[in-house]
Amino acid sequence: MLSVRERVYDRREMIEVLCSFHAHDSGGVQYVNTLAVRSENSGLIGPETSLHDLLDGVDAWLTSKWLACLHPAYTADALRCYDISDPTVVAEKALSGSGTLTLPSGSHEWAPKEIALVLTLRTARGGRSYRGRMFIPSPRLGVFLLDNTNWDQSQSYWTKVGDLGTAITAGHDYEHGTELTPAHLSARVWSRTLGETNDVTSTLRRPQVHWLRSRATAP
């Protein structure tokens, strides 16, 4: 006889996916931030979660927080996901609009598109396999830098990335399917090496500026 936990998983009342937010700039450079997400029905009875319903839930949960970290020069493209247990099962939801980062008034020097603020995702377990990272796209203006090493923590870019981290840690309740089954979305750290995910218990903004060479060319 199957255990309760096994019955829940076999009925697909729990599903784990990798979700990615996609945007581009006027030069055609593409920017992607990826997060592992678990959707789990709030009760033992209910239909399986479709990836499209899950994407709608993630959209309501995180898209506005993510866009608030992006300079208005970035255009949102899509929210995509695939089932971790079967990467051939994929879904996509089109996004529209631009970044909504609050910009200081006046003219400012440009900052390289290759720089990023690192948002570290932490779990209750120690070790590199139990931590994740999101490289938030460059704010494009030097005013967001304190010096040539660190981000200015008094600026909106730092604050909005913190808001995104808070939302990621909090998770999100939503309903899916024609029966409006209640479920909960939680952020996870996916380890390909270990073949498992672990719940994100906190996030940490790294004050040091990070350089991503991969964002130097298009796409």
Give the span between the Cα atoms of 102 and 55, in whole angstroms: 26
Using an 8 Å Cβ cutoff, are 131 and 199 in contact?
Answer: no
Give the span between the Cα atoms of 61 and 152, in whole angstroms: 27
Q: Quick one: CA torsion of 198, 171, 183, 180, rounded to 10 degrees?
A: -150
pLDDT of residue 8: 35
pLDDT under 70: residue ranges of the chain: 1-12, 44-46, 218-219
Please report where in the chains the tokens 């994929």 appear, as a residue. Answer: 90
pLDDT of residue 216: 81
Is the backbone of residue 69 left (phi > 0), alpha (psi -120 to 50) or beta? alpha
Provide the token pair at 89.
Answer: 């099962």
Provide the token pair at 52.
Answer: 């499209």
CA distances from 98 to 57, 101, 103, 113, 179 (A): 20, 9, 13, 16, 34
The neighbour count for residue 102, using CB atoms within 10 Å, is: 11
Q: Quick one: CA torsion of 8, 10, 13, 15, rounded to 10 degrees?
A: 120
